[in-house]
Structure formats: structure tokens, C-alpha cells
């Protein structure tokens, strides 16, 4: 199986693979099929619910272990499998468009890897073409793919930029994410007002002027 660069197979430990900006995966991450994973997780969720004292014979609860297992494997953690990586078609920049392109307010639904609670927010992406352009929707798809993993916001931001740099063949890519972490908003410190902003600026976006232009376009006035 082809392992993408975000699933670097340089071992950094005995039982997992990856480098700092990679999602830490075990070496046997792809040993089980999706249906085998669902069966196994279903039993685990059942165990958790029963340990909490819930009666799984109840009509409303009896399907929950299966629902949660399917949701983990196929939906909220569906971006753990490299087969799910969107193919990002690029085109020649025939129009000779030389300015920055900004795709803003991309919806982010991810999951905090510390508490497995939702991260909800917006991503804003910019790039300057080096000869190719990418289909607009592919940027939204790339965000969604990396968001569908247990994440920390810093890693998600870097992974999006690295992927687009590779697709577009240029360093000139930037991403800002502004998101709410339910682990901060709904439990623990329970601060409903706060959100987290992360950014990654590559190539020309490291210069003050270009970075400023991008930040002016997005204005960070996002409502969730």
C-alpha cells in the first residue's frame, strides 16, 4: 500500500510511525479492514456503556455501540486511511493569474485527540500560483480529510499547508484556522467564549506584506 508523506514510516518508536507533524499511527494501523475495526470498536463501546451502568437492552441504546463504531471508522476518523485522501486535480495557470488566491471560511469539523470532543471552526487558505492552480473545492476537501482524524489544531494547520505545497509545487501556501474546542467550552474550564487561532505561513507568506494582505482578506470575523 502507498503510504503518503503524512503517514511517514520512519519509525520513532517501537509501535508507532511518523514524524512531528504526522498523525502518530501504529505500524499495524491498516492491518484490520474497516468492517473488522467496526466490530472491534462496537464491543469496546458496549463495554464502556455497560461499565457506566447503562442497560443496552433499552430500545434507544441498543444500537449505540454499532452507531458509534461506524461513526468513528467511516465518518469522524475516516481521514485516518490514506485511501480517503482526495485527489486534488491541478490545472495549468493559463490565465496567468499572478495574485494570491484565498479560499476562506472553509468549515472545519474535527475531533480533539485529548478528549475526543469536537473542534468546530473555520479554515482560511491562500496560495500564490507557481504555474498550476487547484480546483477550489479540493482545498475544502483537503481540510476535511485532515480534520477527520483525532487532531490538535496546530498539526491540522501544518498538514493542510504541507499537502497543498506538494499538490501545487510551491512553498507559497498559508493557512489560518479559528476554531472552538468543546473540551475547553463545554467541560473543564467551560469557557464558552474562547476560540483558538493557529497559522502556518510558507514561502512568500513569511514576508510581512504578503502575510498582511492574506490576513486583511480574511479579517477573522468568523461566526461559528
Hey, which residues are catalytic here?
112-115, 153, 181, 183
> How many whole angstroms separate alpha carbon 98 and alpha carbon 71?
42
Which of 17, 174, 175, 183 is close enough to bind ligand GTP by CB under 6 A?
A: 183
- Residue 112, interface with ligand GTP (CB under 6 A)? yes
Which of 125, 174, 184, 218 is close enough to bind ligand GTP by CB under 6 A?
A: 184
- Residue 182, interface with ligand GTP (CB under 6 A)? no
Is 175 annotated in a binding site? The answer is: no
Q: Which is nearer to Zn ion, 16 or 115 (CB)?
A: 115
Is 183 annotated in a binding site? The answer is: yes
Of 108, 98, 160, 106, residue with least CA distance to 133: 98
Q: Which is nearer to ligand GTP, 20 or 189 (CB)?
A: 189
Q: Which is nearer to ligand GTP, 81 or 181 (CB)?
A: 181
- Residue 192, interface with ligand GTP (CB under 6 A)? no
Residues in touch with ligand GTP (CB under 6 A)? 112, 114, 152-154, 181, 183-184, 188-189
Amino acid at each position: 500500500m502507498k503510504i503518503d508523506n503524512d503517514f511517514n514510516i520512519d519509525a520513532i518508536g517501537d509501535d508507532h510511525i511518523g514524524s512531528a507533524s504526522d498523525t502518530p499511527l501504529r505500524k499495524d494501523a491498516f492491518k484490520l479492514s474497516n468492517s473488522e475495526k467496526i466490530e472491534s470498536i462496537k464491543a469496546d463501546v458496549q463495554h464502556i456503556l455497560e461499565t457506566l451502568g447503562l442497560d443496552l437492552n433499552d430500545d434507544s441504546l441498543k444500537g449505540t455501540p454499532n452507531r458509534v463504531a461506524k461513526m468513528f471508522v467511516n465518518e469522524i476518523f475516516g481521514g485516518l486511511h490514506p485511501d480517503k485522501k482526495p485527489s486534488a486535480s491541478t490545472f495549468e495557470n493559463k490565465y496567468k493569474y499572478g495574485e494570491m488566491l484565498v479560499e476562506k471560511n472553509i468549515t472545519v469539523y474535527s475531533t480533539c485527540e485529548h478528549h475526543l470532543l469536537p473542534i468546530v471552526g473555520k479554515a482560511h487558505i491562500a496560495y500564490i500560483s507557481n504555474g498550476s492552480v487547484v480546483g477550489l473545492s479540493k482545498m475544502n476537501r483537503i481540510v476535511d480529510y485532515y480534520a477527520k482524524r483525532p487532531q490538535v489544531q496546530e498539526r491540522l494547520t501544518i498538514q493542510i499547508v504541507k499537502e497543498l505545497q506538494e499538490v501545487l509545487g510551491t512553498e507559497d501556501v498559508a493557512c489560518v484556522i479559528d476554531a472552538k474546542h468543546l473540551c475547553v467550552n463545554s467541560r473543564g474550564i467551560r469557557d464558552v467564549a474562547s476560540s483558538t487561532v493557529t497559522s502556518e505561513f510558507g514561502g512568500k507568506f513569511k514576508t510581512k506584506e504578503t502575510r498582511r494582505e492574506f490576513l486583511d482578506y480574511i479579517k477573522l470575523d468568523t461566526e461559528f
